[in-house]
Amino acid sequence: MKPIKVGLLGLGTVGTGVVRIVEGNQEDLSSQVGSPIVIEKIAVKNTEKARNINVDSDKLTEDPWEVIRHPDIDVIVEVMGGVDQTKEYILEALERGKHIVTANKDLMALYGSEILAKAAEKRCDVYYEASVAGGIPIIRTLIEGFSSDRITKIMGIVNGTTNYILTKMSQEGVSYEEVLKEAQELGYAEADPTSDVEGLDAARKMAILATLGFHTNVELRDVSVSGISSVTKEDISYARRLGYEMKLLGIAERQDDQITISVQPTMVKKKHPIASVNGVFNAVYVHGEAVGETMFYGAGAGEMPTATSVVADLVSVIRNVKLGVSGLKAIAPYKEKRLISDEEIKYKYFLLLHVDDKAGVLAQITQIFAEYNVSLASVVQQPNEFNPDAEIIIVTHDASKANMEKVRKHFESLDVIRKVKSVYRVEG
Ligand SMILES: NC(=O)C1=CN([C@@H]2O[C@H](COP(=O)(O)OP(=O)(O)OC[C@H]3O[C@@H](n4cnc5c(N)ncnc54)[C@H](OP(=O)(O)O)[C@@H]3O)[C@@H](O)[C@H]2O)C=CC1
Ligand SMILES: N[C@@H](CC=O)C(=O)O
Ligand code: NA
């Protein structure tokens, strides 16, 4: 049987896992696809670097073009990262009729439509399961499993690094900086972890999921984003006392034919299944009109879980080649995009205010909520342990995002409010 030759771009955390699985599971894999799978050439930044896997040094190159232009390579597996230059490699590989497997959400969120269009033109496959929620087969699930339904909500913990950080801060009271360092050492964080902690990585993943779930072209700029860098141990402790867990949630919702997509630290009711997703684990909750509630859980990052998805994509690509159906699976978004305005988006909110401890303050606060038509579910005032202010903890009923922004601005201009300490979305 003629082997299928694969070119690998990158031999870092994920690339190493890919080599381990392709070599370690070769017998099973070749039985499933009907040919041996050979990793023919591997591009790395530095061929001299010490690696924790043995690869034939002849296979390594510092020139990705050598892999892309290699005449015998049928499939390119891109686990190198990067956006603009990487896009050039991918487009050229497609131009040459090579199929693509990538774990690169940055690339797919920014240039997915261009890459998929090129793939369709060239009758090539582009698979990108590992780009969202590492080891969870959520992209397949949205494309195939939900093709018959109309999805109303996709809610995800889709960044392992931040979930790891929030879990450790919550369960062990460890500081933010300490846990971030640990997540980097474990290979979960991006090369620049700012994109993890500021929510950009999750936003890119949510743009990919929402595009697939709502059949419309969701771009990164459509996702409203805030990260976890300002979440304190104090916020987490308040959340827990009130029966919530703090999670960085990506939420894509559809109301009739309008959608909204956001990523933000969110207080999730402890009884919601997504509240108990801890550590580097990810979960994606999907609600469909017909199916109701579903949830998919697993490791969202790390060498072997991510490589599992990459190699499963490789198997799909090779099967398609054998069946002669390459390039036929991509379904271009077919719905017009209509985003819900901030006036129409309604959530529950948690607010923590530090205020002067004197008569009439609470009355002023509730008056402002009333002015902007925000109804309150609970208000608790308590002395502040550390200074003479009082703390007021408020949970609202559903309130429009635009009105809550006006409330926050008004509070910030009020003398009796020393500080608007925190404002979080509440889910469940
Ligand atoms: N880590 C994870 O858990 C997950 C990662 N991903 C995505 O997978 C991709 C890879 O991530 P990860 O494995 O963590 O990244 P790493 O930084 O661990 O590895 C990157 C690899 O690419 C090589 N490389 C980087 N730039 C170049 C270049 N210009 N030319 C040639 N080789 C280059 C590096 O070479 P060298 O070894 O010589 O430095 C390294 O082998 C990224 O897109 C990431 O977002 C997706 C899901 C999970
Ligand atoms: N940095 C990412 C890696 C997977 O996409 C994460 O932490 O989830
Ligand atoms: Na996945």
- Domains detected in the chain: 4-134+303-323 (3.40.50.720), 138-299 (3.30.360.10), 346-427 (3.30.70.260)
Among 25-34, 44-53, 104-113, 355-364, the minimum mean pLDDT is found in: 355-364
Tell whether ligand 2 has an atom less than 6 A from the beta carbon of residue 164. no
Tell whether ligand 2 has an atom less than 6 A from the beta carbon of residue 250. no
What is the C-alpha to C-alpha distance for residues 384 and 62, in angstroms, rounded to an integer?
58
Q: Which atom of ligand 1 is nearest to the CA of 13?
A: 13
Among 142-156, 198-212, 267-281, 384-398, the minimum mean pLDDT is found in: 384-398
CA of 44 to the centre of ligand 1 (A): 9
pLDDT over 80 at 418, yes or no: yes
Tell whether ligand 2 has an atom less than 6 A from the beta carbon of residue 161. yes
Residue closest by Cα to atom 4 of ligand 1: 301
CA of 121 to the centre of ligand 2 (A): 31
- In this prediction the ipTM stands at 0.99
Q: Per residue in 355-401, pLDDT tens?
A: 998 888 999 999 999 999 999 999 988 776 666 788 999 999 999 99
pLDDT score for 34: 95
Q: Which ligand is nearest to the CA of 135?
A: 3
Residue closest by Cα to atom 16 of ligand 1: 12
Tell whether ligand 2 has an atom less than 6 A from the beta carbon of residue 228. no
Q: Per residue in 39-59, pLDDT tens?
A: 999 999 999 999 999 999 999
CA of 140 to the centre of ligand 3 (A): 8
Return the amino acid letter for 166: L
Catalytic residues: 205
Q: pTM of the prediction?
A: 0.95
Residue closest by Cα to atom 3 of ligand 2: 301
CA of 132 to the centre of ligand 3 (A): 5
Q: Per residue in 155-195, pLDDT tens?
A: 999 999 999 999 999 999 887 888 888 888 888 888 889 99
